[in-house]
Amino acid sequence: MTHADPHNQPQKRPRRTPLAARGEPMVWLTGACLSVCLLMIAGLLAAVLVQGSVTFWQPRIHQFTVADGSVVMGVPVREEAYDAVGEELAAIHAARDAGALPDGSLHADGRPIRRLYRVGNREVYGEPFRWVSLYTIQNFETPARATLLERREWGVWVGMPQSVVREDLRPAPAEGEAFEAEGFATIEGEGGARRVERAVVQTPDGPRLRERVFIAEGPDAALSALQRLLPQALERWRRIHHLNQAAIGEINHELERERLRHREVELRHAEGRVTDAALGASLARRDARLAELREEYRHVEAEVAEIDREDARWRFVIVEPTHGRFAPVRQTEPDEFMRLSQIVRAVPANDLDLAGRLGVYFSRWGEFLGGQPREANTAGGVFPVIFCTVLLTILLSIVVVPLGVIAALYLREYAKQGLIVSAVRVAVNNLAGVPSIVYGVFGLGFFCYTLGRYIDAGPTVVWPKSNWLLGVVGLLVLTAGAVVAGFLARPVPGQPVARRARILAWSGGLLWLGAVALLVALFARSPFFHGFYRARLPSPTFGAKGLLWSALTLALLTLPVVIVATEEAISAVPRTLREGSYGCGASKWQTIQRIVLPRAAPGIMTGAILAMARGAGEVAPLMLVGAVKLAPELPFSSRFPFIHVERSFMHLGFHIYDVGFQSPDSEASRPLAWTTTLLLIVIIAVLNLTAISLRARLRRRFVTGAF
């Protein structure tokens, strides 16, 4: 190596590729990062999947005696080790030293283990869950026929079935007349004699002779009689429920409508728009109709009462082991057996084979997916919640996709690219970062309280009619001016933009702004509009939480996603395609409509998918503008127009929050929270997959076969 001519002879460097340059460390690093991300996501999904799917699995029912000698029967929920102190610790140590501790009742670290049991029977125990230290358990068994009753109210009942009873109320015997307190009777179609108990009881209608026929006695017989009679009881309950909900609901709806119709006439009368005679006629009509409806109501009521009388005959006796008490019809009547129709499902958990267990599992899933929530959302189904969530998501997409696409079209295709458009674009992107609760506040303030109230009651401040009409004329002038200015300011291709044209273009834009502002003002100050729902005031119709406002709020929230995605999709359409279209003599709009939009459709779909996923999972703004714990009237019904966008609704995301954190019985609802989460994830996944497959179909149309 010579140093004489360093310019011609570059110094030789040792040629060794360092490890970093080979890139392996980067592979490891990026791989590790990806693994961490995947692990966290997979962990979350696995937790949701496992916890969500075990909820409805029925474990066996345990029965045992605890230290104080009382018998406990319950379904194990979970176990944990805990720190025992004081006397308890001493007792455990003593028992351990004496070798009297049952196997597995201590953790490896020496701490005692306790197990949470779902014992149910809230009317008797107060607490439906109970911690039991394993070392205190004695006489452990899983008794056959032990049954878990899912009841419509008051949670589950765990106990041993005893009998199925038919009760009849007969006229009370005359004062002093003797009757047989016990006896036997034969029952049609049941073969053999049955024990009968008679007693005089007080009812609202005076004293009656109550006759209890024990149709089936003993756990086996009671269970099989229950299985036989339960379907009829459920059918009776369904009919009563239907009559109460649908028929009486219909009558109430008619009543309300009639009342509102007359109220509207009254309001118009007060404004002098309706004559006294018409008011009188309206009143007469209303009263006649109300009388009709009351008659109808009495009919339905009578029908309900009749079914209810039959329903009250069929009772079930199931006894809890601790105090030997049976399940009462309600807490205030502890001496009355529960009705059969109060049972949703009876699960003899220790007698089920795998098929039976699976049957219970899927029947619970069925109820969960297809049923109504019960007991403050801690049991029952989530069907209305699912339906509302899907409805909201669809509504939101219907609003946000056209809006976003049109906005993006203007930004990308029509607007002159420059400082203003860039500023708008930055602003739109920033909107995506605004906390979603802010959108909720905006939605509540603007949609519910401003727009909604306007729809309900009309403007609060109005212009005099003459001024308002003047405003309409002004609007026409402004619009015409804007159109003319825009027309005159059209750029001439091939010629430089004249100063005059630029001024015209700006003034045209300002005129448009003015026209829009005036239009809004004309609406907001119209003396001719009195609201669509003023008869219902002061109770709001649109002026409160509602599905429509939620959809609009979420649309606003997801608008940036759609705009950005659409802009990208539009600008990715090859220039050659546009030029080809223009070359064929297509106008700008024809090119957009026939070439650009179809070609950009997959990209737009991507934006819509992202928006939907974001919207479906959003909770915070919904708490302000629409979602409620339990909607009194769901936003869909069998009555025209079927979808009632002004009503508040239930939403899966909010439901998870409610069930998980706002529940009166957190232990009972915790598993449901997991399952609801699982459901929400599945629904979003299904919505996304549908959209993705749609997008794949669209994309296939643009794959070129050449090359």
Length of the chain measured in residues: 707
> Minimum distance between the CB of residue 419 and other proteins, rounded to whole angstroms?
15
Cα angle, residue 463 at apex, residues 459 and 464 outer, rounded to 5°: 130
Amino acid at 440: G
Q: Which is nearer to other proteins, 336 or 413 (CB)?
A: 413
For the CB of residue 486, give the shortest distance to other proteins in the complex, in Å.
17
Tracing tokens 């005893």 back to the chain, one arrives at 162
Q: Among residues 512 and 582, whose Cβ is nearest to other proteins? A: 582
Provide the binding-site residues for other proteins, judged by CB under 8 A: 416, 491-496, 574, 576-587, 590, 594-595, 598-599, 701-707
Q: Measured from the CB of residue 674, what is the shortest distance to other proteins in angstroms? A: 45
Helix (H, G, I), strand (E, B) or coil at 166: strand
Q: C-beta of 575: minimal distance to other proteins in Å? A: 9
Cis amide leading into 538 (omega within 30)? yes
Nearest to other proteins of 49, 694 (CB atom): 694
457 phi/psi in degrees, rounded to 5: -120, -5
Element (DSSP H or E) covering residue 507: helix 499-524
Please, what is the minimum distance in Å from the beta carbon of residue 598 to other proteins? 6
Q: How far is the CB of 605 from other proteins (least distance, A)?
A: 14
CA angle, corner 468, sides to 463 and 470, nearest 5? Answer: 140
CB of 418 to other proteins, least distance (A): 11
**Which C-beta is closer to other proteins: that of 116 or that of 694?**
694
Tokens 């009250």 belong to 312
Tell me the two tokens of residue 656: 């998870």
Q: How far is the CB of 417 from other proteins (least distance, A)?
A: 9
Residue found by looking up tokens 């502890």 in the block: 334
Phi, psi of 63 (to 5 degrees): -135, 135
390 vs 586, which CB is nearer to other proteins?
A: 586
In the complex with other proteins, which residue's Cβ is closer, 231 or 491? 491
The amino acid occupying position 182 is E
57: Cβ contacts below 8 Å, ≥ 6 apart:
357, 361
Q: How far is the CB of 488 from other proteins (least distance, A)?
A: 13
The nearer residue to other proteins, 595 or 619, going by C-beta atoms, is: 595
CA 558, CA 552: separation in Å to the nearest integer? 10
Judged by beta carbon, residue 192 or residue 585, the one nearer other proteins is 585
In the block, tokens 């084979």 appear at 353
From 511, 526, 532, 531, select the one nearest 472 (Cα to Cα): 526
Residue 649, SS3 per DSSP: strand
Measured from the CB atom, the residue of 298 and 594 that comes closer to other proteins is: 594
Answer yes or no: are the C-beta atoms of 103 and 137 closer than 8 Å: no
534 neighbors 456 (Cβ within 8 angstroms)? yes
The three-state secondary structure class of 126 is: coil
